[in-house]
Amino acid sequence: MATVIPDKNDVRVKALQTFAKEFGEDATVCVCAPGRVNLIGEHTDYNEGFVLPMALPMITVIAARPNQSPKCVLITMSDAIGTISRTEFDISNRDALKPGEPKWANYIKGPIANFTCTLPGFDAVIISSVPVGAGLSSSAALEVATYTLLEALSGCRTVKLSDKAAACQRAEHEFAGVPCGIMDQFISVMGQEGHALLLDCRDLSTKLIPMVQNDYVFLITNSNAPHKLSTSQYTERRDACYAAAKKLNLKSLRDATIKDLDVLKAQKADEVLIKRARHVITEIIRTQAAAQALEASDFVKFGHLMNESHDSLQKDYEVSSKELDSLVSAAREIDGVLGSRLTGAGFGGCTVTLVRKGSVDELIKNIKQKYSGTPTFYVATPGPGAREMGINYCKCTDELH
Ligand code: GLA
């Protein structure tokens, strides 16, 4: 059986209750932002290509209240063990904010440093149902939730939502040290219930693709294998793409075609560089084709493209791992599976599999048998992007304890 995703209202109530308990009064604002799963279009965003993610029903919630001081007082609760972690910092000079310890607070400091309007000091409680370090964008969810909180606290709402995503992407660059593309923050801001989103990372134009009721679902499998060296390897891949584009005299690999691979060969470019470029060029083509297939409910085609995407990420981009490969091959053994691939940056994290509804249990059983680790499974249904939530909740359960 797939893991039951915590109900969004339960996460909200837990944040509000924890706030009241820890700060001795009720929160006045509550916001949330979702994690994401990328269906196809991997390592294409920083090459101005296409991506096709959807927002998840797993969310990061922040309950907060202005505290009439120049300080942010933050509390987070790690869901697994229920431990509370607390930190505080001064926001009277936001230009002076620097990343530091604890690391989780950097994802809050970053958006604060990148927010342009006047801000009050505030107390906040953060609770998340997005698994951390699983490649489902828990960091983007926290950055976007923070930014949404700052908008609510200041009353200063960003007019262009892509500017909000870009500010959160800068926060990740500057405060988490990851030179990521725009995809994760963008989908966390822009996600729409019941839809995947085709995003052109060159001009940030979008197309919503309805995930209509049908016989298939996307199953996310978390390898629960830790990411290894992911930031340095991510940066290395990005730099190889930029170097390949430069050799071709192009602004980015978005402008490259398959024929350009021959140009690189003729230039005696490094074999590794050619492989990296081949992944990006073919993945951009696959993502556009996959979006069309999804719109046409051509799941067989979509599944093929997912398989090709994984094989390209494994062989040419070399960002898979033995755990991810083992999950993908166990998935592909099942009849009702149309396609399976790693999702996100790679080097650990999750796979996403397109499977007939009736075959989900058999798929989970096979993965559990063949995979040496302890995986977790989620059926992914597209949820909405960042938003404010209500602050009312029934205090009756509180009184019982
Ligand atoms: C990470 C980054 C994204 C994107 C993916 C790979 O999730 O944050 O910007 O590059 O990896 O597709």
Statement: residue 82 has pLDDT above 70: no
Q: What are phi and psi of 278, to 5 degrees?
A: -60, -40
Ligand 1 atom index nearest CA of 43: 12
Does 181 contact ligand 1 (Cβ within 6 A)?
A: yes
pLDDT level of residue 83 (50, 70, 90 thresholds): confident
Say what the pLDDT of residue 81 is: 58
Measure CA of the first residue to CA of the last residue in the chain; give whole Å. Answer: 32
Query: Cβ of 13: how many Cβ atoms within 10 Å?
Result: 22
Lookup result for tokens 């991810």: 324
- Residue minimizing CA distance to atom 11 of ligand 1: 345
Beta bridge partners of 29: 64
Say what the pLDDT of residue 226 is: 72
Ligand 1 atom index nearest CA of 182: 9
Does 15 contact ligand 1 (Cβ within 6 A)?
A: no
Statement: residue 133 has pLDDT above 50: yes
Euclidean distance between CA atoms 245 and 237, whole angstroms:
13
Does 143 contact ligand 1 (Cβ within 6 A)?
A: no
- Residue minimizing CA distance to atom 9 of ligand 1: 181
Which of 74-83, 251-260, 345-354 is predicted with the least confidence, judged by mean pLDDT?
74-83
Say what the pLDDT of residue 172 is: 97
Euclidean distance between CA atoms 127 and 144, whole angstroms:
14
Domains of the chain, by residue range, sit at: 8-210+382-388, 216-380
Euclidean distance between CA atoms 47 and 371, whole angstroms:
33
Say what the pLDDT of residue 399 is: 45
Euclidean distance between CA atoms 288 and 207, whole angstroms:
11
Tens of pLDDT, residue by residue over 369-391, are 999 999 999 998 999 999 999 99
| pTM for the predicted model, two decimal places | 0.96
CA dihedral 75, 91, 64, 117 (to 10 degrees): -150
Local structure of residue 189 (DSSP, 8 states) = H
Say what the pLDDT of residue 229 is: 60
Fold of 8-210+382-388: Ribosomal Protein S5; domain 2 (3.30.230)
Question: Per-residue pLDDT averaged across 347-364, rounded?
Answer: 97
Does 45 contact ligand 1 (Cβ within 6 A)?
A: yes
Beta bridge partners of 75: 86, 125
Question: Per-residue pLDDT averaged across 27-50, rounded?
Answer: 98
Q: How far is ligand 1, taken at its centre, from the CA of residue 345, in Å?
A: 5
Does 344 contact ligand 1 (Cβ within 6 A)?
A: yes
Ligand 1 atom index nearest CA of 172: 8
Contact at 8 Å (CB) between 5 and 382?
no
pLDDT level of residue 3 (50, 70, 90 thresholds): confident
Does 134 contact ligand 1 (Cβ within 6 A)?
A: no
Mutate to test the pocket of ligand 1, among 36, 39, 43, 199 (most ligand atoms within 8 A of CB): 43
Tens of pLDDT, residue by residue over 185-238, are 999 999 999 999 999 999 999 999 999 878 999 999 999 997 666 789 999 999
Distance of CA 366 to the CA centre of its chain: 27
Say what the pLDDT of residue 287 is: 98
- Residue minimizing CA distance to atom 1 of ligand 1: 345
Distant-in-sequence, close-in-space partners of 130: CB < 8 Å, separation ≥ 6: 34, 35, 56, 58, 59, 60, 136, 137, 138, 141
DSSP-derived 3-state class of residue 265: helix
Euclidean distance between CA atoms 338 and 275, whole angstroms:
26
Say what the pLDDT of residue 214 is: 83
Taking every pair of Cα atoms in the chain, the longest distance, rounded to a whole number of angstroms, is: 75
Tens of pLDDT, residue by residue over 289-304, are 999 999 999 999 999 9
pLDDT level of residue 397 (50, 70, 90 thresholds): low
Query: Cβ of 129: how many Cβ atoms within 10 Å?
Result: 23
Does 260 contact ligand 1 (Cβ within 6 A)?
A: no
Does 180 contact ligand 1 (Cβ within 6 A)?
A: yes
- Residue minimizing CA distance to atom 8 of ligand 1: 180
Q: How far is ligand 1, taken at its centre, from the CA of residue 215, in Å?
A: 29
Say what the pLDDT of residue 2 is: 84
Per CATH, the homologous superfamily of domain 216-380 is GHMP kinase, C-terminal domain (3.30.70.890)
Say what the pLDDT of residue 279 is: 98
The answer to whether the peptide bond before residue 102 is cis (omega within 30 degrees of 0) is yes
Statement: residue 401 has pLDDT above 60: no
Ligand 1 atom index nearest CA of 44: 12
Statement: residue 85 has pLDDT above 60: yes
Mutate to test the pocket of ligand 1, among 44, 172, 180, 231 (most ligand atoms within 8 A of CB): 180
Ligand 1 atom index nearest CA of 38: 12
Does 199 contact ligand 1 (Cβ within 6 A)?
A: no
Q: How far is ligand 1, taken at its centre, from the CA of residue 158, in Å?
A: 24
Question: Per-residue pLDDT averaged across 67-80, rounded?
Answer: 89
Say what the pLDDT of residue 4 is: 86
Say what the pLDDT of residue 337 is: 98
Average pLDDT, the chain: 95
DSSP-derived 3-state class of residue 124: strand
Question: Per-residue pLDDT averaged across 265-283, rounded?
Answer: 98
Residues carrying an active site annotation: 184
Q: How far is ligand 1, taken at its centre, from the CA of residue 344, in Å?
A: 6
Say what the pLDDT of residue 400 is: 45
